[in-house]
Amino acid sequence: MLQSDRLVIAPEVADALRDSRPVVALESTLISHGLPYPQNVEVATASEQAVRASGAVPATVAMRDGRLLVGLAQGDLESLATAPAGSVRKVARHSLAEGAVAGGWSATTVSATMIAAHASGIRVFSTGGIGGVHRGALDGPNPSFDISADLGELARTPVAVVCAGPKAILDVPRTLEHLETAGVPVLALGQDEMPFFWARRSGIPAPMTVADVASAARVVEAQAALGLDAGIVLCNPVPAEDALDDGYVREVVNRAIADAEAAGIHGPATTPWLLARVAEITAGASVRANIALIVDNARVGGLLAVALAR
């Protein structure tokens, strides 16, 4: 059980939860580690606005001095976004306690944000792209076994996660296999293929398709009613205006992964390093797509939370 002194729910969020009004959790690793400054503050603020425009209350999650904060003030968002490189930790389930003992700011990844959301009674969480099975995690002469803690969390924590699919730097088919084994429904919104993070299409069939957010809400309700304590992944394709071509994404990702290998990058640094490398290779086009998809996922998360609160 999470002790109450370790969870600080902002008053606006607490009021909404007490009155059973819709709330959407947002994460902080994409602010501190996923995007460059100043786009990171802009996207954090725009995501909160998108949740509100859909009729829900945003709750951005981070850890400070050993407490999980659910709902950040604008000043806190800025502190996180402008903190000197390396001064904010990236924490997942396995490193939350380490971050708590270290003190200061820790940004929560999908797994850590799901823990805080569920402990607060929040059922919907919007992010950019979930973590998953990294390329080369399971094959080759020297498999890394690098599989995101996001997948283990989805298996055990009943929060609906809105994203633009697993990040395209990952092995998406094996990520889907892993989620299937773990009992996690994966739904694509409005199309029969998986979205591919920066691209709308991937050529990889989605395990399940829902036509609209109302249909997604029915799946979330059925999952809860059946007593299935896993999360759900709702995949919303990046808005067309800022989407990259999927063939181009594959090409760029191959290059970035080869560069990461040459540079000896591994562990939790891998995802932020690859995202930054892809931003360089695409001359910022991936950052524009990433911003657009994060904000649109916040909008869809808001609609889902509203549908669930009815």
Q: How far is the CB of 137 from Mn ion (least distance, A)?
A: 9
Annotated catalytic, 27? yes
* Shorter beta-carbon distance to ligand PSU: residue 92 or 307: 92
Q: How far is CA 210 from the centre of its chain?
A: 20
Q: How far is the CB of 29 from ligand PSU (least distance, A)?
A: 3
Q: How far is the CB of 201 from ligand PSU (least distance, A)?
A: 18
Judge contact between 161 and 118, C-beta under 8 A. Answer: no
* Shorter beta-carbon distance to Mn ion: residue 103 or 143: 143
Query: What does 106 interact with, of Mn ion, ligand PSU, none (CB < 5 to 8 A by kind)?
Result: none
Q: How far is the CB of 8 from ligand PSU (least distance, A)?
A: 20
Location of structure tokens 């389930």:
93
In single-letter form, the type of residue at position 223 comes to Q
* Shorter beta-carbon distance to Mn ion: residue 150 or 246: 150
Nearest to 274 by CA among 134, 127, 67, 119: 134
Location of structure tokens 């739904």:
187
- Tokens representing 300? 């869809």
In whole angstroms, give the CA distance from residue 96 to residue 129.
20
Largest Cα separation within the chain, whole Å, is 55
Query: Exactly one of 78, 153, 167, 193 is catalytic; which is it?
Result: 167
Residue with nearest beta carbon to ligand PSU: 128
Annotated catalytic, 78? no
Query: What does 120 interact with, of ligand PSU, Mn ion, none (CB < 5 to 8 A by kind)?
Result: none
Query: What does 271 interact with, of ligand PSU, Mn ion, none (CB < 5 to 8 A by kind)?
Result: ligand PSU
Q: How far is the CB of 200 from Mn ion (least distance, A)?
A: 26
In single-letter form, the type of residue at position 172 comes to V
Interface ranges with Mn ion (CB under 5 A):
146
In single-letter form, the type of residue at position 200 comes to R
Residue with nearest beta carbon to Mn ion: 146
* Shorter beta-carbon distance to Mn ion: residue 111 or 126: 111
Interface ranges with ligand PSU (CB under 6 A):
27, 29-30, 33-34, 109-110, 127-129, 131, 148-150, 268, 271, 275, 290, 294
Judge contact between 55 and 302, C-beta under 8 A. Answer: yes
Query: Exactly one of 27, 48, 153, 193 is catalytic; which is it?
Result: 27
Q: Between vectors from CA 296 to CA 118 and to CA 290, what angle results, nearest 5°? A: 100
Q: How far is CA 87 from the centre of its chain?
A: 21
In whole angstroms, give the CA distance from residue 103 to residue 112.
16
Catalytic residues: 27, 167
